[in-house]
Amino acid sequence: MWAAAKRTARFAVTAKWQLATLKWRLILIGIAALVLFLVILVVGILDTLTGVQNEQPTDVTFNTAGGLQVSDQVLQYRGLVESELSKHGLAEQTNLVLALMMQESGGHGNDPMQASESKCGRIGCITSPEESIVYGVEHFASVFERANRDVQLTLQSYNFGGGFIDYVQQNGGRYSKELAISFSQMMYQRVKHTGIYRCHRPSAVQHGACYGDIEYVDAVLKYLAPVAVADGVITKELLSGLRSPLAIPLNVTSRFGWRVVFGQRDNHTGIDFSCTPSDTIHAVKSGTVIYSGNRGPYGNLVQVRHDNYITAYAHLSRLGVQTGQQIEAGQALGYCGTTGRSSGNHLHFEIKTSEWSGHIDPAPVFGL
């Protein structure tokens, strides 16, 4: 009887010890997981903050003649691209196709226009740059005509495939970023089980839109941005009576032009000014609000048309105006923030000749 009692007691003590040991093991595992998470988080933050200041990779050079900002590797194909486009009566689209090539490959490899999949449904069937350009230009010309020569619809369809043109025609007939996102979401649901599609951008993750590149249009058009204020009427007009977008001294934190952000090469199409959430953002000139809402990487964005140019104010925490509203110079448009693709509170300010392209360096305008 006593022996049985001792065995029972010994079993109870052993079980209690094992339970206590398991508890401490779980606590240690939890602490280790937390430490690992914090390390990853800190490394990611440091990478983001330092990445903004990095220069362009030294093995890539850029030519800015004529407003085209592409690598010398791409420019070597200008003659062939222009020749092939001429066969389709589209020689004037040479710079656009070179910008597309820059986004696709930077001019590297045997398939600089990444045309293999559209030609034969798989990667690698094109084996020379010449073949890539001949077929890539032919494909571009076909898409361009199907899209009724709408540049934005053409570019997104080159990335998504011709099915996007049909989708747009069934949903209003005009390209929009919202349609690109919804099409990508729809297609991703159909193909994600294959495991070969993944999100390449934070905005794609945010929207669950991992089919193709929903930022493709903006990515290509950035290579066509001019690098400085040009001579002529627009410069004289910009230099007369433009107000500051902030009521505090302008402190530049990131200039116009090439940089690396979030580990990716990026052509910064505006200029960044430091500010705090309590700072109001002001219109630099009177005009009409043509956009007020959330726009992907821009976050909360206000765009104002002033005669023959547009100013843009991005990453706002709150919006104070509506699309279609007439505003006066100096009027508050919203508050400084960090919405969209941003690593901290600031104002991203742009001057451009059209809504999503034709960007001009604002620094000379403000004497910066």
Tokens coding 194: 């294959």
Same domain, 209 and 233: no
**pLDDT given for residue 319 in this prediction:** 94
For 214, residues 6+ apart whose C-beta sits below 8 A from its C-beta are 177, 180, 181, 184, 201, 203, 204, 207, 296
Domains held by the chain: number: 3
Looking at the domain assignment, is residue 4 inside a domain? no
Nearest to 226 by CA among 72, 92, 101, 358: 358
Looking at the domain assignment, is residue 3 inside a domain? no
CA dihedral 102, 97, 200, 110 (to 10 degrees): -60
**pLDDT given for residue 338 in this prediction:** 94
Same domain, 254 and 288: yes
CATH label of the domain that carries residue 330: 2.70.70.10
The alpha helices in the chain, defined as continuous H runs, are: 2-51, 72-75, 78-86, 94-104, 116-120, 129-146, 151-160, 163-169, 177-191, 202-207, 216-221, 233-238
Same domain, 175 and 194: yes
CA distance linking residue 106 with residue 118, whole number of Å: 19
Residue that finishes a domain, picked among 223, 258, 288 = 223
**Which structural domain range is residue 354 located in?**
229-366
Looking at the domain assignment, is residue 2 inside a domain? no
CA distance linking residue 346 with residue 273, whole number of Å: 6
Looking at the domain assignment, is residue 189 inside a domain? yes
**pLDDT given for residue 353 in this prediction:** 83
For residues 260 and 60, the answer to whether their CB atoms sit within 8 Å is no
Looking at the domain assignment, is residue 57 inside a domain? no
- Chunked into runs of 10 residues, the chain (368 residues) has average pLDDT values of 50 50 63 59 39 30 50 93 94 90 92 85 85 95 91 90 91 88 89 73 80 85 53 48 87 85 76 92 94 92 91 95 94 94 93 83 82
Same domain, 70 and 29: no
Same domain, 250 and 347: yes
Which pLDDT tens digit goes with each residue over 183-226? Answer: 998 988 887 777 766 776 777 787 888 888 888 887 887 776 44
Same domain, 179 and 275: no
Looking at the domain assignment, is residue 79 inside a domain? yes
Same domain, 302 and 348: yes
**pLDDT given for residue 351 in this prediction:** 92
CA distance linking residue 278 with residue 280, whole number of Å: 7
For residues 223 and 269, the answer to whether their CB atoms sit within 8 Å is no
CATH label of the domain that carries residue 191: 1.10.530.10
Global pTM value: 0.51
CA distance linking residue 166 with residue 157, whole number of Å: 10
Looking at the domain assignment, is residue 38 inside a domain? yes
Residue that finishes a domain, picked among 187, 207, 223 = 223
